[in-house]
Amino acid sequence: MIDFGYVRVSSKDQNEERQRIQLELQGISELNTYIDKQSGKDFDRPQYKEMVKHMHTGDCLWITSIDRLGRNYEEIQEQWRYLTKEKRIDIVVLDMPLLDTRKGKDRFGIADTLLRGRDGAQEYQTASGGRDFSGKIEGRQTWKAIWAYAREF
């Protein structure tokens, strides 16, 4: 099993050091850390593609935040399924422990339920023992609400 790190910043003038250090602190080798300096609008990124080519069943992808993987929710879902179901790798999202597939392969399904709106949040709240879930479930507020909830785990 190999641990891979993926770092993405949106432009060449942004500094990726903070993400790289967070991955190093988790024991991710610099040799297995791939860095793209471009938009996350899609997955047409050279280092991301190269990393995925090297990944095999049992490997683990570490990212500091889900938005470092991408910006397009549908494409993130598609990649998540591809990586976890087809390539059979694990994914660890450092700032969102709820999305650690080492604890269960369908962890993104929980976030998906929350993203579907207030009904989804209430459905999850009921399933999680009635814990209070507060946060707006629309637009950019969505990820913040999920992160706030996920940090409790």
Better pLDDT: 136 or 106? 106
Both 32 and 77 in a single domain?
yes
Length of the chain, in residues: 153
Q: Which of 10, 39, 128, 134 is catalytic?
A: 10
Q: Is residue 10 annotated as part of the catalytic site, yes or no?
A: yes
Q: What is the CATH number of the domain that holds 84?
A: 3.40.50.1390
Better pLDDT: 97 or 153? 97
Confidence band, pLDDT 50/70/90 cuts, at residue 141: very low
Domain count along the chain: 2
Q: Which residues of 9-35 are buried (b: 16+ CB within 10 A; e: fewer)?
A: beeeeeebeebbebbeeeebeeebbbb
Task: Dump pLDDT digits (tens) for 34-88.
Answer: 999 998 888 999 999 999 999 999 999 999 998 888 888 888 889 999 999 999 9
Q: Is 126 helix (H, G, I), strand (E, B) or coil?
A: helix
34 contacts 47 by C-beta, under 8 angstroms: yes
What is the residue range of 111's domain?
Answer: 106-153
Task: Dump pLDDT digits (tens) for 83-119.
Answer: 999 999 999 999 888 888 887 755 555 555 544 444 4
76 contacts 41 by C-beta, under 8 angstroms: no
In the listed set 101, 120, 136, which residue is the last one of a domain according to the structure?
101
**pLDDT in the model for residue 70:** 86
Both 33 and 73 in a single domain?
yes
Better pLDDT: 46 or 121? 46
**pLDDT in the model for residue 73:** 82
Name the residue with tokens 């938005």. Answer: 67
Both 30 and 63 in a single domain?
yes
Both 97 and 129 in a single domain?
no
